[in-house]
Amino acid sequence: MRVLMGPGPSDVHPRVLGALARPTIGHLDPAFTGLMDEIKDLLRYGFGTANALTIPVSAPGSAGMETCFANLVEPGDKVIVCQNGVFGMRMQENIERAGGVAVAVQDEWGEAVDADKLSDALKANPDAKIVAFVHAETSTGVGSDAAALCALARQHDCLTIVDAVTSLGGTPLKVDEWGIDAIYSGTQKCLSAPPGLSPVSFSDRAVKKLQDRKHRVQSWFLDLSLVMGYWDGSDGRSYHHTAPVNALYGLHESLLMLREEGLQAAWDRHDKMHRALVAGLEAMGLSMLVDPACRLPQLNAVCIPDGVDEAAVRQRLLADYSLEIGAGLGALAGKVWRIGLMGNSATAANILLCLDALEGTLAAMQAPIITGKATAAAQQVLG
C-alpha cells in the first residue's frame, strides 16, 4: 500500500473506503436523498457558510472551477484574475472560454497574491464584475489572504470566485465571514476522500447574478439552474444526471470525520504536522521555497539541493518506501518537491517515514545533506 504525501490525492481512511463499498442504491431513492441533504449540511460546516446553494459537483476540482466560471461569467464580463501559480492561469482559460475578458494581476510563483496590486487593478478597471483568485496554490505551497482580497472586491462591488481545492479542511476557510461569493474545492486533498467530486457553494449575490443572466450557461451539464433540480429537494427532486452514489457515500463519511474532529482541531493538526516536517527538513539542511508568513501547512515546497536528480529521488522513495511525494509543476518543475500533508496523510507516523526515507535516499546518492538530526528535530515539535 502506498503512503500518499504528494499534492493529492491523500491517504483515504479505512472508514471512507468502507463507505465507498456499501451497496449502490438509486440516486433518487428516498434513503439516498436524505444522505444528500446531510452532505449539503456537512459541506456548509466545512466551508463556514449558510449558503443554500452548497453541493458537490459530480466531477473533480476542475469541474468545480468550471462550474463557477461558466455560471457567473457572461460574454463580455470583465474579470480580474490574480495569478501566482498554475491554477490562477487555468482560471484565465475558464474566463475566456466563458466569453469573459480577463485582466491578469501577476505575482511571483512562491509569493502570495498582493492585495495592493489587486487594489490598483480594481481602480484601473471600474467596470470589472468579478475578482478570482486561488486561496491555496497547490503548485507553489502558498496561501493568500482571502479575507483581505474579498473585502477589496466588495468595496468595488465585485463578486469573488475562490479556489479552495487545497484549503478546505486544512487551513482556516470562512466563506460567510470573509464574504466569498463562489467557491469550489476537491475531495482528494484535505478531505481525504477519493478524487472525483467538487464541492461548490454560491452566495445569494452569486445566485442573483446567475438568475439575472441574459445568455444561457454554455455548459448543459454544469448549468446550476438545472443541476439544482436534483440537489434542491424543496420542489421534489428530478433526474438531471445519474449521481455517483458510492463516491457520495465516501464524501459523506469523510465530512462526518471532519465534523467529529472539528474544523479548528483539523486546522491545528495540519499546522503542527507542518512545523514538525519543516523542522526535520531544515535539520537535514534542506530549505523551503515559501516565506513562513504565507506557507501552506498542507503543501510543502522543498528546494531541491544542487546536483540532485529530483526524479530519481522520487522514484526511489516510491520503489523502496512505497512513499509518494510530488514533483514541481509548471515554472517550478525540477526546482522543488511538493510534500503534501493533507487530511488523513497529515500524521506523525507519515512525517517520520518521509524524513527517514528522504534522508536515506539522499545520503545514498551522496547529496549535500546533514544526516542524523532530522527525526529528533521533528519529534521535538511532535512532543
Ligand X SMILES: Cc1ncc(COP(=O)(O)O)c(C=O)c1O
Pick the closer one to ligand X by CB: 276 or 342: 342
CA gap 164, 86 in Å, rounded = 14
8 belongs to the binding site for ligand X (CB under 6 A): yes
| CA count, 13 A, side-chain hemisphere, 157 | 5
133 belongs to the binding site for ligand X (CB under 6 A): no
134 belongs to the binding site for ligand X (CB under 6 A): yes
Pick the closer one to ligand X by CB: 62 or 218: 62
Q: What would the x/- binding string for ligand X be over residues 61 to 90, using CB under 6 A? A: xx--x---------------------x---
Stretch that binds ligand X, among 33-41, 163-171, 268-276, 284-292 (CB under 6 A): 163-171
**Nearest distance in Å: CB 65, ligand X:** 6
Pick the closer one to ligand X by CB: 280 or 343: 343
List 142, 165, 255, 263, residue binding ligand X (CB under 6 A): 165
Pick the closer one to ligand X by CB: 197 or 378: 197
172 belongs to the binding site for ligand X (CB under 6 A): no
3-state secondary structure the chain: CCEEECCCCCCCCHHHHHHHCCCCCCCCCHHHHHHHHHHHHHHHHHHCCCCCEEEEECCCHHHHHHHHHHHHCCCCCEEEEEECCHHHHHHHHHHHHCCCEEEEEECCCCCCCCHHHHHHHHHHCCCCCEEEEECEECCCCEECCHHHHHHHHHHCCCEEEEECCCCCCCCCCCHHHHCCCEEECCCCCCCCCCCCCEEEEECHHHHHHHHCCCCCCCCCCCCHHHHHHHHCHHHCCCCCCCCCHHHHHHHHHHHHHHHHHCHHHHHHHHHHHHHHHHHHHHHCCCCECCCHHHECCCEEEEECCCCCCHHHHHHHHHHHHCEEEEECCHHHCCCEEEEECCHHHCCHHHHHHHHHHHHHHHHHCCCCCCCCCHHHHHHHHHC
Give me the residue label for grid cell 492561469. Answer: 89
**Nearest distance in Å: CB 123, ligand X:** 28
200 belongs to the binding site for ligand X (CB under 6 A): no
**Is the N-terminal amide bond of 9 cis, ω within 30° of 0?**
yes
**Nearest distance in Å: CB 86, ligand X:** 8
Stretch that binds ligand X, among 30-38, 160-168, 169-177, 229-237 (CB under 6 A): 160-168
**Nearest distance in Å: CB 157, ligand X:** 26
**Nearest distance in Å: CB 135, ligand X:** 8
Per CB under 6 A, contacts with ligand X among 35-64 are 60-62
List 166, 201, 254, 300, residue binding ligand X (CB under 6 A): 166
**Nearest distance in Å: CB 85, ligand X:** 8
**Nearest distance in Å: CB 59, ligand X:** 8
Pick the closer one to ligand X by CB: 90 or 209: 90
Q: How many chain residues touch ligand X (CB under 6 A)?
A: 14
**Nearest distance in Å: CB 170, ligand X:** 11
Supply φ then ψ for residue 2, to 5 degrees. -80, 150
Q: What would the x/- binding string for ligand X be over residues 87 to 106, using CB under 6 A? A: x-------------------
Supply φ then ψ for residue 123, to 5 degrees. -70, -40
195 belongs to the binding site for ligand X (CB under 6 A): yes
List 54, 94, 138, 300, residue binding ligand X (CB under 6 A): 138
**Nearest distance in Å: CB 163, ligand X:** 5
**Residues making contact with ligand X (CB under 6 A):** 7-8, 60-62, 65, 87, 134, 138, 163, 165-166, 186, 195
